[in-house]
Each structure stands twice: as C-alpha cells, then as structure tokens.
Amino acid sequence: MNTAKLYEVIRAPRVSEKTARLQEVSNQYVFEVAKDATKADIKIAVEKIFDVKVESVNVLNVKGKNKSFKFRQGRRGDWRKAYVKLAEGQSIDVMMAKA
C-alpha cells in the first residue's frame, strides 16, 4: 500500500475526554477512517504510518445527526470510526500526528 492510500484510509485522530481515557486505561486510539476501509486496511495503515504494532481493530459506523439552523433543515454526514488497540508498551502521540 502506497503512502497516499494510507492517508486516505486514516483520515484523522479523534481526540476527546473519552478517547484520552481509553488511551490511558486500555492503550486504545480512535481514528476517523474512510467509509470503505476494512479492519485489515486500518491495521496496515496505522502500523506503517505510526511504526507501531496493532493488536486489534474495532470499527463502527456513526450516523449523522439532523440539525436545524433558523428555518433550514440539514443533516450532518455519516462517518466511520475505528478503535485501534496497540501492543503493550506501544504508544502514539496523537497531538503530533499528521493523519
């Protein structure tokens, strides 16, 4: 897999209080990924981009919310999220990540 394809699979790290807690407790990191990305694609991309060993990948689809602004109805887009568990002793600095 070339580098351009790797960065298409891994779109961006998701940083929140919940994901920070996951990093501390179970060494899991959360990424926004392409809608058509498989678990194998995500594992390969994370291992090559961040030079770490991935133990497991869990993927889920997030439904977009219906929102209204004044008198207009709109909908946020659907997206896909991946929970990536790293091997013991491995870590990623998501604040410095250029994914």
Domains and CATH numbers, the chain: 3-86 (3.30.70.330)
- Confidence at 93, pLDDT banded by 50, 70, 90: confident
pLDDT digits (tens, 9 = 90+) for 64-91: 999 998 889 999 999 999 999 999 999 9
If you write DSSP's letter for every residue of 16-65 in order, what string do you get? SHHHHHHHHHH-EEEEEE-TT--HHHHHHHHHHHH---EEEEEEEEEPPP
- The pTM for the full model equals 0.88
